[in-house]
Amino acid sequence: MAACVVAAAALTVSHVSLSARETMKAERETFMLGTLINISAYGSDKSSLDAAISAAMEEISRLEQLFSVGIASSEISRINAAPTLEGGHTVSPETYELLAQSLREAEETEGAFDPTVGALVGLWGIGTDHTRVPDDFEIAELLPDIGYRKVALLQALDEEDPSQTIYRVSLGKGRQLDLGAIAKGYAADRAARIMRASGVKSALLNLGGDLVAIGEPPKRRGWRLALRDPYGGRGDYFAVITVSDSVVVTSGAYERFFEQDGVRYHHILNPATGRPAVTDLVSVSVVMEQNEARENGARCDALSTALFVMGSEKARAFLDKHKEVQAILISEKDGEHSVYVTDGLKNIVTYSDNAFLQANGGKNNAR
């Protein structure tokens, strides 16, 4: 297969040899969670690969029905429609788990990632055809209601059936959830869990640029994943990283934006200002180990958004403290870009053009 271009920040450039007679490939692509989802898997039995992909896709669809703010009947939409409901909303274990993790990531990133940005996302019309620049007072009016700390999660044993746990969420006045910065990563974790449980040893899941690489591709050591060049077009990439059993998530200003009066407004908001984050970062890719024991997709997704909001200085300080998190940061100052790569990635990144090599001290760190 030739370079397979996908709609988001990363794409696979793996040229997989199918010459081994016993290796079969199954692949499916569909549109869910507001993005293109592609899953490919390799193994000796095509029908079991197909079944595993179907099960993974069904899981993503089920989660979309729970989390999507674009689906009026989703649990998140239901909570948003009645944020002050007395006693809170009863939700599924998955919604509860994702919200609990969202609050942990918000805490860890000191609110750079904040799942309560929903009202702001709505005000700017992000993700809709009605994007607009709000007035200062509209933003000021909403800001007091933004804040993950005010979300209350409660779990209790069901009084009627103590073998069951009840999960509840209370949002509070004016607050609106938006899990757009973490839900794809969570869904990627869950889909990968199903693929692995189905016996798949080699697969690549791409949820609109949130990538999970399971095992290794046939006859190759590691999946070669291309990282989108933020200055280029959809098919251009600035680096390739070679990974196995890993998750790779990229956030960038170039992914979604609109222009008004010559000013560009992107989709990642600073929850503290209510406006698109003013940051020297152009693109943030976060890479973590991903396996049965450490699923990490949701965390990677939240962190890619959060590091982008933080800007390179704070992001680097964060990465210094959290050694399990690997990242590639592209920043820009006075029209010049530079690339920062954490130590854990230095041996697995290959840059695809000299400009990026020079920006990284002229060294190509590829093996």
Summarize as ranges the residues that interact with ligand AMP (CB under 6 A): 113-115, 117, 121, 126-127, 178, 180-181, 251, 267-269, 271, 301, 304-305, 309
Q: From CA 356, how far away is CA 362, in angstroms rounded?
A: 8
Residue 192 site contact among Mg ion, ligand AMP, none (CB < 5 to 8 Å, cut-off depends on kind): none
| Shortest spacing between CB 192 and ligand AMP, in angstroms | 17
Q: From CA 259, how far away is CA 263, in angstroms rounded?
A: 5
Residue in the block written with tokens 């933020």: 230
The residue from 12, 242, 304, 352 that contacts Mg ion (CB under 5 A) is 304
| Shortest spacing between CB 225 and ligand AMP, in angstroms | 17
Identity of the residue, 181 or 204, whose beta carbon is nearer to ligand AMP in the bound complex: 181
305 contacts 115 by C-beta, under 8 angstroms: no
Residue 267 site contact among Mg ion, ligand AMP, none (CB < 5 to 8 Å, cut-off depends on kind): ligand AMP
Per the structure block, which two tokens stand in for 116? 């309560």
Q: Is 101 in the site for Mg ion (CB under 5 A)?
A: no
Question: Beta strand 24-32 with 336-341: parallel, antiparallel or unpaired?
Answer: unpaired
Per the structure block, which two tokens stand in for 278? 């003013």
Q: Is 301 in the site for Mg ion (CB under 5 A)?
A: yes
Residue 10 site contact among ligand AMP, Mg ion, none (CB < 5 to 8 Å, cut-off depends on kind): none
Residue 339 site contact among ligand AMP, Mg ion, none (CB < 5 to 8 Å, cut-off depends on kind): none
148 contacts 103 by C-beta, under 8 angstroms: yes
Q: Is 305 in the site for Mg ion (CB under 5 A)?
A: yes
Residue in the block written with tokens 């000299």: 354
How many residues in total does the chain contain?
367
Beta strands (DSSP E) in 137-262 are: 152-157, 165-170, 202-207, 210-214, 223-228, 237-243, 246-252, 257-260
Identity of the residue, 43 or 111, whose beta carbon is nearer to ligand AMP in the bound complex: 111
Which chain residues interact with Mg ion by CB under 5 A? Answer: 181, 301, 304-305
